[in-house]
Amino acid sequence: MDPETRFNREFVVDIDAATVGISSRRWKFIASADATAERAAEIMREFRFDTLPIVGVRGSAEEYFHTVKWNHYSDVKRSPITKLDRVPFMTPLKDMIQKFVVESRNFYFLDNEDSVVGLISIANLNCRQVKVYLYSLLSELEIKLGDLLGAIAQSQNYSL
């Protein structure tokens, strides 16, 4: 890697879905052999999860349980992980937030080529990394507003 590229970055705070989400190596899951709706609902209620991956004998997730209504654990549904449920793990945070809003989704599985490698949900947006990202955007906005007010004041011959 050319070190010069690290000096010419537009954004200093560079956060992607993998930074915010949870790795499949660390997530809570249910084994396919134990994958009943009742058992899944127990786990989801206990840990307050709305999405619970089902991991098969090969160690990969191809299905998942999810609440029909977010934060209501009385009705859970089993679904396959489709292409619509997946985003690349390196998706920038800005694009991830936009996908949550535009597609009215609360979670996505993170993939790397053909493998599911993690999970991100709107609950993950409450982490420290997202707060740092938002703070950097607010700071940038404050600087630009200051520059704009300074330019307006200068054009009107006002002193601030």
Domain residue extents for the chain: 4-121, 127-160
Confidence of residue 160 (pLDDT cuts 50, 70, 90): low
Phi, psi of 20, rounded to the nearest 5 degrees: -90, -35
The mean pLDDT value for 109-113 works out to: 95
pLDDT of residue 53: 98
pLDDT at 14: 80
Match 């940038």 to its residue by tokens: 140
CATH of segment(s) 4-121:
3.10.580.10
Give the model's pLDDT for residue 156: 85
Contacts of 16 (CB under 8 A, 6+ apart): 89, 90, 91, 92, 93, 96
Mean pLDDT along residues 7-19: 77
Please state, in angstroms and rounded to a whole number, the distance separating the CA atoms of residues 27 and 18: 13
- Residues with Cβ < 8 Å from 107, sequence gap 6 or more? 50, 51, 66, 119, 120, 121, 122
The strand pairing partners of 54, in sequence order, are 30, 63
Examine the pLDDT at 28 and tell me if it is beyond 90: yes
